[in-house]
Amino acid sequence: MYWEREIETLPRPKLEALQLARLQQTIRLASRSTYYGTLYRRLNLTADSVTALTDIDKLPFTTKQDLRDSFPYGMLSIGKSEVIRLHSSSGTTGNPTAVFHNQHDIESWANLMARSLYSVGVRSSDVFQNICGYGLFTGGLGFQYGAERLGCLTIPAGAGNSQRQIKLIRDYGTNVVHAIPSYVHRLAEVMEQEGFDPRQSTELRTFIIGAEPHSEEQRLRIEAVFGVKAFNSFGLSEMNGPGVAFECTKQNGLHVWEDAFFVEIIDPSTLEPVADGEIGELVMTTLDRQAMPLLRFRTGDLTRILPGSCPCGRTHIRLDRITGRSDDMFIVKGCNIFPMQIEGVLMRIPDLGSNYLITLETIDGVDELIVEAEIARNVDGTDSQRLAWLTALLTRQIRDETLVTPIVKLLPPDTLPQSEGKAVRVRELRRP
């Protein structure tokens, strides 16, 4: 049974008492890491400094940059020999952000995932197809472990190759699919090209969509095309990955599993808490992680806590859809990218100038990353061989940096807007 009734419907005072006990334990554990140990000693902070949940504001925020600066093991709270898994978030410049797990963390994450899947009606009799990058991406193994724990026949389909995905769906009678919403549209288009209607020719019932921003309209379109119910799943590698917040069958916001995560919403410019129900930056603290606890991690995601209670009976708060970012990160094909990563690649190639334009556009059902860049003044713009070589080089280097193969267009000098002031570097032309 993965309807953990007692914990999911815990009255708020009891839930908050549990959070406080776990927060104090998390501070104790985190203090064993080089990063938090040094910081908290300097600030004279211990678990005893936090005697109420509101005292959390005594602790400094943790940022992606802190993780990068502590690379590779500075955030580890346990001996390296007890660590069993590494994941790493895409979308970082310089050092990657590494996230480590011990056996307890993997167990607890799998339980949260199983609980999440159960909450949207997935059961052990289901065939679950995970159309998501495996490897260092958390959506692969995260959903795999959760669906297996629930007892589903779990197909680790991975990303890409739509025709094979469709064959798997049909051959094995897949009922439940996890994929990013933009890819689900691509899947629909390929099914249409193959001449069949997913509502008639498949046993699909449930889609779990997440890992990138999407609108209510997108959800409704997916539901109509496939004849399914689609549920939003939110997570980030630093907080495990998926299984942080999940919609229940009421589809009215993302329940955060508050026995495992503590939520704050702050104004990203003042760093003060926003008023109840206002939009701000989501800040999260792990409450049940041992290898690498994180306290007051600034996610960069903008959202708000929804008012009221949910008719499903769960007492855990609900977040609204993510409405944007407090930084300039964007997500394409499920990969997080900062414009600075692309700029860094361009700057390392002497044959290219410093102006560039990134366009995100849906072409043939696939969201593409288009990078336009100017050649340097000393490069002969009529030398087609040189230009082809440069295009291939830039394409490969951007793919290595971002995991997405870009469409590269080289332009003569002075074609793109100059970089003085705030030049527009990213154009959003994707299908809404």
| Interface region with ligand COA, contact rule CB under 6 A, candidates 17-25, 107-115, 127-135, 291-299 | 127-135
Residues 6+ positions from 68 with CB-CB distance below 8 Å: 92, 94, 95, 96, 97
- Count of residues of this chain found to bind ligand COA when the rule CB under 6 A is applied: 23
For the CB of residue 332, give the shortest distance to ligand COA in the complex, in Å: 8
284-323 mask for ligand AMP (x: CB under 6 A)?
A: ---------------x-x--------------------x-
- Strands lying side by side in the sheet with 366-375: 407-411, 366-375, 352-363, 426-429
Asked if residue 161 lies in contact with residue 133, where contact means CB atoms within 8 angstroms, the answer is: no
Site size with Zn ion, rule: CB under 5 A: 5
φ and ψ of 69, to 5 deg: -65, -25
CB atoms within 10 A of CB 180: 25
Taking the complex as a whole, how short is the minimal distance between the CB of residue 341 and ligand COA, in angstroms? 14
For residue 99, the cross-strand partners are: 87
Pick the binder of ligand AMP from 90, 154, 206, 355 (CB under 6 A): 90
C-beta of residue 126 within 8 angstroms of C-beta of residue 176: yes
36 by Cβ neighbours in 10 Å (0-12 / 13-18 / 19+) ranks as: buried
Residue 161 makes contact with ligand COA by CB under 6 A: yes
Q: Is 310 in the site for Zn ion (CB under 5 A)?
A: yes
Q: Which of 159, 282, 284, 291 is the binder for ligand COA (CB under 6 A)?
A: 159
- Residue 300 in 3-state DSSP? strand
Is residue 138 near ligand AMP by the rule CB under 6 A? yes
Interface positions, 382-411, toward ligand COA (CB under 6 A) = 403-405
Nearest 5°: phi and psi at 128?
A: -110, 120
Candidates 48-56, 70-78, 297-305, 331-339 — which segment interacts with ligand COA by CB under 6 A? 331-339
Dihedral pair phi/psi, residue 348, rounded to 5°: -85, -5
C-beta nearest to ligand COA: residue: 139
Would you say 39 or 260 has its CB closer to ligand COA?
260
Calculate the CA 109 to chain-centre distance: 15
**174 touches, from ligand AMP, Zn ion, ligand COA, none (C-beta below 5 to 8 Å by class):** none
Instruction: Identify the DSSP state of 253.
Output: S
Please check whether residue 111 is in contact with residue 149, taking contact to mean a CB–CB distance below 8 angstroms.
Answer: yes
For residues 398 and 342, is the Cβ–Cβ distance under 8 A? yes
In whole angstroms, give the CA distance from residue 400 to residue 398: 5
Distances (CA, A) of 36 to 29, 92, 101, 272, 403: 9, 21, 17, 22, 31
Using CB under 6 A as the binding rule, the residues of this chain from 318 to 377 that contact ligand AMP are: 322, 331, 336
Nearer Cβ to ligand AMP (31/240):
240
| Out of 109, 128, 183, 234, the residue judged to bind ligand AMP by CB under 6 A | 234
Based on the shown chain and the rule CB under 6 A, indicate whether residue 131 belongs to the binding site for ligand COA.
Answer: yes
- Report in angstroms how near the CB of residue 4 gets to Zn ion at its nearest: 14
What are the beta bridge partners of residue 330? Answer: 337
Quote the least distance from Cβ 420 to Zn ion, whole Å.
50
Which one of the spans 56-64, 165-173, 227-235, 257-265 is the region binding ligand AMP (CB under 6 A)? 227-235
Strand partners of residue 301: 325
Site residues (vs Zn ion, CB under 5 A): 248, 250, 310, 312, 314
Where along the sequence are the contacts to ligand COA (CB under 6 A)? 131-133, 137-139, 159-162, 179-180, 183, 186, 190, 211, 333-335, 366, 403-405
| Residues making contact with ligand AMP (CB under 6 A) | 89-90, 138, 210-213, 232-237, 241, 299, 301, 322, 331, 336
